[in-house]
Amino acid sequence: MCGVVGIISTQKPVAGELYESLIHLQHRGQDAAGMMTYNKRFHEKKGTGYIRDIFDEQNMARLQGKVGIGHTRYPTVGGFSVEEAQPVMTHVPHGIAMAHNGNLVNYNDLVNEVNEQDHRLINSSVDIEVILHIFAHALDHPKTDIKNLSFFDQICQAVDTVFHRASGAYSVIGTIMNKGMVVFRDPHGIRPLVKGVRQNNDGTTDHIFASETTMFYALGFELDGNVAPGEVIYIEENGTVHSRTLKNEQFTPCIFEYVYFARPDSIQNEISVYRSRLRMGQNLAKRWKEQYPDITPDIVIPAPSTANTAALSFANELGVRFSEGLYKNPFIGRTFIMPGQEIRKKSVRYKLVPQEFEIRDKKVLIVDDSIVRGNTSKEIVRMVREFGATKVFFVSACPPVKFPCFYGVDMPTRGELVAAHRSVSEIEEYMGVDILMYQKIDDLVEAVTRKGEHNIDRPCMACLNGQYITGDVDEHTMERMERQRNHERSKQK
Ligand code: SF4
In CATH, what number is assigned to the domain containing residue 69? 3.60.20.10
Q: What single DSSP character describes residue 472?
A: -
Residue 461 in any domain: the answer is no
Residue-wise pLDDT tens digits, 307-361: 999 999 999 999 999 999 999 887 765 545 555 555 555 678 878 999 999 999 9
Residues 352 and 131: their CA atoms lie apart, in Å, by: 40
183: CB partners within 8 A, 6+ apart:
6, 172, 173, 174, 193, 195, 209, 227, 232, 233, 234, 235
Handedness of CA 90, 134, 100, 267 (dihedral sign): positive
- Report strand pairing: 241-245 vs 194-199: unpaired
Same domain, 198 and 289: no
Q: DSSP 3-state helix, strand, coil percentages of the chain (rounded to 5)?
A: 35, 25, 40
Which structural domain, as residue segments, surrounds residue 189?
Answer: 3-249
Measured in angstroms, how far is the CA atom of residue 304 from the centroid of ligand 1?
22
- Report strand pairing: 363-368 vs 299-302: parallel
Same domain, 7 and 93: yes
Pocket of ligand 1 (CB under 6 A): 190, 254-256, 405, 407, 409, 460-463
Handedness of CA 352, 353, 358, 361 (dihedral sign): positive
Partners of 33 in the beta sheet? Answer: 47, 72
- Helix 375-386 vs helix 341-351: angle between axes, to the nearest 10 degrees? 30
Residue 276 has phi, psi (to 5 degrees) of -65, -35
Same domain, 288 and 185: no
Q: 140 by DSSP, 3-state: which?
A: helix
- Number of residues that make up the chain: 493
Residue-wise pLDDT tens digits, 226-245: 999 999 999 999 999 999 99
Residue 482 has phi, psi (to 5 degrees) of -65, -40
Ligand 1, atom 2, residue with closest C-alpha: 463
- CA distances 300 to 259, 323, 392, 400, Å, are 18, 6, 10, 21
Residues 348 and 343: their CA atoms lie apart, in Å, by: 9
Same domain, 88 and 198: yes
- CA distances 458 to 79, 134, 469, Å, are 32, 29, 10
Residues 112 and 117: their CA atoms lie apart, in Å, by: 8
Nearest atom in ligand 1 to the alpha carbon of residue 461 is 8
Nearest atom in ligand 1 to the alpha carbon of residue 169 is 6
Q: What's the mean per-residue pLDDT of the chain?
A: 93
Residue 270 in any domain: the answer is no
Residue 236 in any domain: the answer is yes
Same domain, 179 and 239: yes
* 73: confidence class by pLDDT, cuts 50, 70, 90: very high
Same domain, 94 and 166: yes
pLDDT at 485 over 90: no
Task: For residue 225, give the H/E element and its range.
Answer: strand 222-226
Same domain, 19 and 79: yes
Domain-terminating residue out of 450, 471, 487: 450
Residues 394 and 67: their CA atoms lie apart, in Å, by: 48
Q: What single DSSP character describes residue 110?
A: H
Q: What single DSSP character describes residue 439?
A: P
Residues 493 and 60: their CA atoms lie apart, in Å, by: 33
Task: For residue 359, give the H/E element and its range.
Answer: helix 356-359
Count of other CB atoms within 10 angstroms of residue 305: 15
Measured in angstroms, how far is the CA atom of residue 130 from the centroid of ligand 1?
21
Determine whether 439 is exposed, middle or buried from the number of CB atoms within 10 Å of its CB (0-12, 13-18, 19+): buried
Q: 85 by DSSP, 3-state: which?
A: coil
Residue 268 in any domain: the answer is no
Catalytic residue among 2, 254, 405, 460: 2
Tell me, yes or no, if 254 is annotated catalytic.
no
Same domain, 223 and 301: no
Nearest atom in ligand 1 to the alpha carbon of residue 191 is 6
Ligand 1, atom 1, residue with closest C-alpha: 254
- Best mutation site among 171, 337, 407 for ligand 1, i.e. most ligand atoms within 8 A of its Cβ? 407
pLDDT score recorded for residue 146: 82
Residue 115 in any domain: the answer is yes
Measured in angstroms, how far is the CA atom of residue 255 from the centroid of ligand 1?
6
- Best mutation site among 1, 460, 470, 478 for ligand 1, i.e. most ligand atoms within 8 A of its Cβ? 460
Residue-wise pLDDT tens digits, 379-414: 999 999 999 999 999 999 999 999 999 999 988 899
* 77: confidence class by pLDDT, cuts 50, 70, 90: low
Which is nearest to 352 in space by CA: 332, 388, 371, 328? 328
pLDDT at 135 over 80: yes
Residue-wise pLDDT tens digits, 97-131: 999 999 999 999 999 999 999 999 998 889 999 99
Nearest atom in ligand 1 to the alpha carbon of residue 411 is 7
Same domain, 40 and 134: yes
Measured in angstroms, how far is the CA atom of residue 407 from the centroid of ligand 1?
6
Residue 111 in any domain: the answer is yes
Domain count across the chain: 2
Residue 466 in any domain: the answer is no
Same domain, 335 and 420: yes
CATH of the domain at 354: 3.40.50.2020
Ligand 1, atom 4, residue with closest C-alpha: 405
Residues 20 and 387: their CA atoms lie apart, in Å, by: 40
Would the pTM count as exceeding 0.75? Answer: yes
* 78: confidence class by pLDDT, cuts 50, 70, 90: low
Same domain, 68 and 205: yes
pLDDT at 76 over 80: no
Same domain, 300 and 195: no
Which is nearest to 114 in space by CA: 95, 93, 131, 126? 131
- Best mutation site among 28, 254, 269 for ligand 1, i.e. most ligand atoms within 8 A of its Cβ? 254
pLDDT score recorded for residue 451: 85
Residues 24 and 278: their CA atoms lie apart, in Å, by: 22
Residue 200 in any domain: the answer is yes
